[in-house]
Structure 1
């Protein structure tokens, strides 16, 4: 073999290694690139970002084309190197060619381009997208055939690729938010607000409503003067009116409507017709999710709804503020009566009202108690204990000790709560 031929083979190997580096870096960049970022750049007028976004959408075909191209050039480069070494050094050259090509491919065609690509995947993906589009078109028929064969082969082993579930956009966003919080990019309050927004579609109004036992209501059969006095003494703007029995809600009295009626009557309370002032009640099913209820509040320009179960019985009430608090946290104004529901004690324990929601505990204390089967602290204890506990009974669930302090009939009204140290949990197990 002449020197010219050796230089030509060496040059071909260098070109093939460069192509291998291109395929390897492109695979890493397009796999790690953010679809949201590509969409944002496309809206800003970057056509290459649009191409990259469309390639990411057909990721299976894209990876197939890149792997085909990468293996093709790597095998060709190794074959050329082996043949050249054999002609120069003989049969012993196979080992030398293998070692040399392994080093060159590993360093210059794999580690180097992938490290470069992962350091700036979005920029790298945008840069290579136009070329990759052509690569996918050229290798498309081959990769499609390979995909069909691979899917058939996997099905023979009982693996259905089409039936596998990918991560949903909400889960992807939630994972990103949690990761940013873990890395210090988001404060806990910011994480909770974003998480609350994502949870709206998963929560029902029964999860955030004020239970009927805690509702303030007015008896429409009482004298108008007494109703006005009770309304003015209340911290709430909207109060349900009932007649005959508390289940029979006939209207909702709004404080502003009451003030307008008083002004129109020149302050003559006895002349007021309370039911004429009241607005019609709005009933919503307890299974309505918060996302739909928020849209309904905005559409009706209303802030207040009564929650009923499948039998039409009133379970409680939900307000626009209740839903917003799931996103931004507790909202207080100058008329709110501040009831924490969680009171720290000198011994390090917490006195928790039974009606405090598990979500509020998790948010306020950064715990991770489950809220799928129960929505309140008392409900969680009853669900996990599988019984109605007695006072002073203690239970430990999910790394937290619950002691029943007070109980009214079958309802737990007060709990003493304390997080159990990991050492004590391990010793107990």
Structure 2
């Protein structure tokens, strides 16, 4: 090999290493770039973001083209390096070329460009996308064939990949991004809970957040009007269901503002008021209605109150617009709300909880992750896991917590002590 050919080969090797680094960095940047950020940049009119968005949308073809280009230049660079080192060192040149090229490819064609790309993937992706678009177009026919071969091989192994297969739904991707931002300090707990609550609306049913029948405040429409007015004014609620004849025969909903208007027109004489005339109709909804659908229904009908019935038509409870909003923003309290002691932290790290406290509220308040698929309240969770109605002072351990039944009334668990097992172990080892 002449001296000129030798130097040309060495220059070609370094040029090929540069191309290998370009392909490696481009692959990392375009696969790691946030589609949401790229989309936002595209909306501002950035043409490079539009190109990057199209490349990311066809990710399988993009990766195939970049891997094909990367392998071509790496193999060619290794072949040239072997020729150069054979000319310089004879038969030992093969081993030397292998060691040198491994080091060069590892440092300059893999680690360095990928580290650079991952440090700011969106910016890197926008920079390389115009060139990568040409690469994908050139290698397109070959990549299509490779895709077909890969899909056939995976199908033989029992893995069926659709053309638009997606592992995570949009909600799951958003939830994962929110949790990650919270872990990295980008979102506070309250912000994470509000966004998570919004994402949960489609998964929750009204039965998960309703006021249970046993806790409903309802009025007998046949009572004396003066007593009804007194009871309505004493209630912290502005909307009250009315029943007649039997306590499960609901005939309407009384709004405090309508009652005040009627009192004003009657010059304060409650005896002149016909409660049923000023009451609005009762709205009954199935207990399986999702919170998202019910929120839309509330907004569409411009009402804030509905009675929840089961599959047999029996009233199970009531749900209001405020109940749904509280799933997003947390507990909404005003000067008329009654303070209910449902959660009391203890000095030893445990928490005393009323059995009626919803699991979701407890998770949000204590930053726990107790499952709420099979039960709505914390008492219901204990009964479900224990497969029995526990006695007082019985202790159960599940889901990483120790539950102690403090009080039981008939078949209802009314008070529990809960403590994390990690705190118990920490206290034991101290």
Structure 2 counterpart of 1:140: 140
**1:223, distance to aligned residue in structure 2 (A):** 1.2
Report the equivalent of 1:171: 172
Q: Which range moves more in the overlay, 168-177 or 80-89? A: 80-89
CA distances 1:38-82 after superposition (whole Å, capped 9, x unpaired): 100000111111111111111111000000000001111111121
- Paired with 1:105 and 1:420, the residues of 2 have a C-alpha distance of 49
Question: What is the rounded CA distance, in whole Å, between the counterparts of 1:218 and 1:306 in structure 2?
Answer: 14
Whether the 8 Å contact between 1:215 and 1:316 is mirrored in structure 2 is yes
Kindly indicate whether residue 366 of structure 2 is the aligned counterpart of residue 357 of structure 1: no
The answer as to 2:394 corresponding to 1:393 is yes
What secondary structure sits across from 2:91 in the alignment? coil
Partner of 2:197: 196
Displacement of 1:350 in angstroms is 3.2
Deviation by residue 1:135-158 (Cα, 9 ceiling, x = unmatched): 111111111111111221222222
Corresponding residue of 1:403: 404
1:91 aligns with 91
Q: Could you tell me whether the CA contact under 8 Å between 2:349 and 2:423 is conserved in 1? A: no
Q: Which residue pairs with 2:309 in the alignment?
A: 308
Q: Work out the CA distance in 1 between the residues paired with 2:424 and 2:270.
A: 66
Match of 2:252 in 1: 251
1:160 aligns with 2:160: yes
- Contact kept in structure 1, 2:23 and 2:70, CA below 8 Å: yes
Partner of 1:236: 237
- Aligned residue in 2 for 1:268: 269
Counterpart in the other structure of 2:108? 108
Counterpart secondary structure, 1:403: strand
The 2-side partners of 1:358 and 1:228 are apart by: 36
TM-superposed deviation, 1:90: 2.2
1:293 is the counterpart of 2:299? no
Pairs within 5 Å for 1:62-77: 62-77=62-77
* Structure 1 equivalent of residue 13 of structure 2: 13
Which whole-Å CA distance do the structure 1 matches of 2:383 and 2:86 have between them?
79
Return the TM-score normalized by structure 2. Answer: 0.95
C-alpha displacement at 1:91, in angstroms?
Answer: 2.1
Q: Distance in 2 between matches of 1:227 and 1:331?
A: 27
Q: Kindly tell me: are residues 153 and 344 of structure 1, through their superposed partners in 2, closer, same or farther at Cα, counting changes over 3 Å? A: closer
- After TM superposition, give the deviation of residue 424 of structure 1 in Å: 4.2
Deviation at 1:401, TM superposition (A): 2.4
SS in 2 for 1:387: coil
Distance apart, 1:87 and its partner CA: 2.9
Aligned mates of 2:296, 2:414 — CA distance in 1: 34
Conserved in 2, the CA contact under 8 Å of 1:48 and 1:130? yes
Map residues 322-333 of structure 1 onto 2, 5 A cutoff.
322-333=323-334
Q: In structure 2, how many angstroms separate the alpha carbons of the residues matched to 1:346 and 1:195?
A: 30
Alpha-carbon shift at residue 29 of structure 1 (Å): 0.2
CA, structure 1 residues 423+344, in 2 after alignment: closer, same or farther (shift >3 Å)? closer
Structure 2, unpaired ranges of 5+: none
Asked if residue 59 in structure 1 is aligned to residue 59 in structure 2, the reply is yes
**How far apart, CA to CA, are the structure 1 residues paired with 2:276 and 2:261?**
14
Quick one: structure 1 residues 138 and 155, their matched pair in 2 at CA, closer, same or farther if it must change by over 3 Å?
same
* Separation in 2, partners of 1:310, 1:14: 74
1:368 aligned residue: 369
Query: What TM-score, normalized to structure 1?
Result: 0.95
Give yes or no for contact 1:399–1:425 (8 Å, CA) kept in 2: no
Query: Contact between 2:395 and 2:404, CA under 8 Å: does it hold in 1?
Result: yes
Q: Please give the secondary structure, in 2, of the residue aligned with 1:339.
A: coil
Q: Alpha carbon RMSD of aligned pairs, Å?
A: 1.8
Range that drifts further, 6-15 or 57-66? 6-15
For residues 389 and 91 of structure 1, what CA distance do their matches in structure 2 show? 81
Q: 1:351 to 1:13 in 2, by over 3 A?
A: closer
> Is 2:212 the partner of 1:211?
yes
Aligned partners of 2:381, 2:80: CA distance in 1, in Å?
A: 69
350 and 91 in structure 1: CA distance in 2 versus 1, 3 angstrom threshold: closer
Distance across 1 between alignment mates of 2:222 and 2:353: 37
Distance in 2 separating the partners of 1:278 and 1:57: 55
Change over 3 Å in CA distance of 1:298–1:99 after alignment to 2: same
Greater mean alpha carbon deviation, residues 164-173 or residues 378-387: 164-173
**Number of matched residues?**
427
Counterparts of 1:2 and 1:123 in 2: how far apart (Å)? 43
Pairing of 1:220-235 with structure 2 (within 5 A): 220-235=221-236
